[in-house]
Amino acid sequence: MNQEGVQTVTTHLTPVAERDASGPSPIDIDGWTLTDGLRRWAVNTFGAGIDPDYEAAQFVSHFRSTGQRRHNWNDEYQKWARRSAKYASERANRPPLRAVSGGHTPYQPPTDHSVYQNGF
């Protein structure tokens, strides 16, 4: 209860809910969208190595979730796309995992029954 005798309720919002309650994120306020020019840049630079529309969706989602603002969204998208292409290249060039020989062998009871002597 407060000083006037009125009961008050305090609610706590998660950081994401707090951002949602505070309004649109900076990337939405600034109106960034993937332009045809940026799409062409990504295709010309990386070919089939990345999907510009998928990367743009990931990019927007990331900056909506963090609420961060960037001075130049187009430059930031290019940096994002370069990093994504680099990670994809590293994954493609990674040596395959080594298979362990033998695999799983299920339990089979011993055929020599003398192992059961002496309390085993």
Mean pLDDT of successive 10-residue segments in the chain (120 residues)? 62 60 90 97 92 97 96 98 93 81 78 76
d(CA 4, CA 64): 41
Q: What is the pLDDT of residue 95?
A: 86
pLDDT at 27: 97
CA distance 27 to 16: 15
Q: What is the pLDDT of residue 113?
A: 79
What confidence score (pLDDT) does residue 35 get? 97
Closest CA to 62 of 12, 26, 13: 26
78 C-beta neighbours (distance < 10 Å), count: 15
What does the pLDDT read at residue 6? 64
